A and B are shown apart, each in its own frame.
Chain A
Amino acid sequence: MGKGKGMGVAMDRTRKFSLFVCSARACIGLFRIRSIESLQYRAAALSSGSISVFWALIEITVYTVFYRYAAHREAATLTLAQMVSYIWLGQTLVPLHPLSIDDELLAKINSGDVGVELCRPLDLYFHWFAKSAAGRVGRFWWRALITLGIGLLMPGPLRLGAPVSAAGLIMFLVSVASTFLLSAAYGMLVTAVRLGITWGDGPTYMMMLVGGVLSGGYLPLPLWPDFMQGFLYVQPFAGYLDLPVRFYVGAIPPGRAAATIALQLGWTLLFVCAGRLVMRGRLRGVIIQGG
């Protein structure tokens, strides 16, 4: 009897594991297909890329003036050259962190098609995670390429500088990879919250906006008041672009590199757990509308 039960549990585990493998393979496949698919939108990337460039140039102009006339220029955390690089890279990374839920998922939530998604033997969280992350990364490539390319080609004081060192560049790339997971995880948390709401986008928009503001995408975090810097460093959204960029321009001491990456991954894990938890709760109550 006890033995039989043990075997049952073992069977259950193997089944769960094979489900996990299938789910993961399907999610990776979905990610690949969808990100390649969205690579097609080159024309859209061209126009959005020029918007990024436009913003970067405006920001650089404003901060150059700001730096020239600031009272405590020597107290600034970043030099002007670092700041210019910060802006170019920031504008490059901003589109990786959109301010809205994935279009397809939102449409499914609004039309009540979420239930239909449950007819497939897939873990809905990771399925959606892959789907939204892929849609984002595909659209991101071209735009990023344009912004970076133009940034590098700019004349002297407007140019995106070289990375501080090879190590800095590597840490930048690692940090960008983990920020991609971080913002996908946060996006999923917001999506999960949206699942239970039938009356609009207000709360989720607020959540996204908080992320956007605290990321430094609007006002670079180094320019925020000094007393906030401690908080700004540990809060999750610094990982969106501030931390990767600081690696690039050499504003994070090497001794703190590992801790900084760990911080990003820690927040990611927290968002994944929270998102799954909220989603499980919401799905229990979710009712497939109409039919």
Chain B
Amino acid sequence: MPLLEIKNLKLDFIAGDRNLRAVDDVSITINAGETVCLVGESGCGKSVTALSIARLVPRPPANYVGGEILLNGRDVLKMTKSELQAIRGGMVSYIFQDPSASLNPVFRVGSQIKESLKLHRPEKATDAEVIRLLKLVGIPAPESRIKDYPHQMSGGMQQRVMIAMALASEPKLLVADEPTTALDVTIQAQILDLLLDLKKRLGMSILLITHNLGIVGDMADRVAVMYAGQVVELAPALELLRRPLHPYTKALMNSVPKLSGNMQRLQAIPGNVPSLGNFPSGCRFYPRCPSAQPECAKTMPQLVEVEPKRWVRCLYAKPL
């Protein structure tokens, strides 16, 4: 049984008398010890999907319209308040893009980590355990840092503290929502290295959200590409990077310049990412798709397994 199985998830945001579908028929599984990357441009539904795993999207405005989220076989969408409390920050921990927004500015970092321990492993709510966690996430001289306030730390250090807090409950699944987007490249490299190392040592699963395809190759076992609320391609990471099958994945990879790549003109994707409530009918990518056919305007493609382990949402995706 997979650790997490999101099946045909559908979520609307209620705006006045309109129901805007933000997540539409999303299916993703994550096995124990596996890292899955969720990639896509801003607004495509990555965060809403990820937050749904612990049902953290506020309802209203959100409304779950269909599907299930099986965590160890139990549907999160059917859980009671107290069951949800237990998994939040317990079996599932989150880290976000902006650590300074998640840390409380008026409490010392050591006591914030201790709070997290009290909640989930009260017998371990000690200075020694806090120091062990800070050491685990690579904070130098942790004994002297537990008394620091968040603002006394750099962005990279704050992100390490967030990771330490997330690890306090010994989660089975770490959801990292663009954890390095706000950081400089050299600090991003440190944090990615840390996540790889932790995964190896602790054997947890990671759902890593990013808009940077470059990160996928370094981090992911499998990858799901989202566009306009839907998963359009799901595949083992290296296979997807070597041979993308969906026209959107291909176009995205061709449109970004590569380091030491050739200097030819970039192949831009025409038009803009459609906003919520303005998704085209039929295939959502068809107004921008270089391979579009007349049929694409009428029929919405389903996510189908076109080759073993390779799922694609395109009417014209052919098996090898």
Q: Do A and B come from one complex?
A: no
**B residues near A, CB below 8 A?**
none
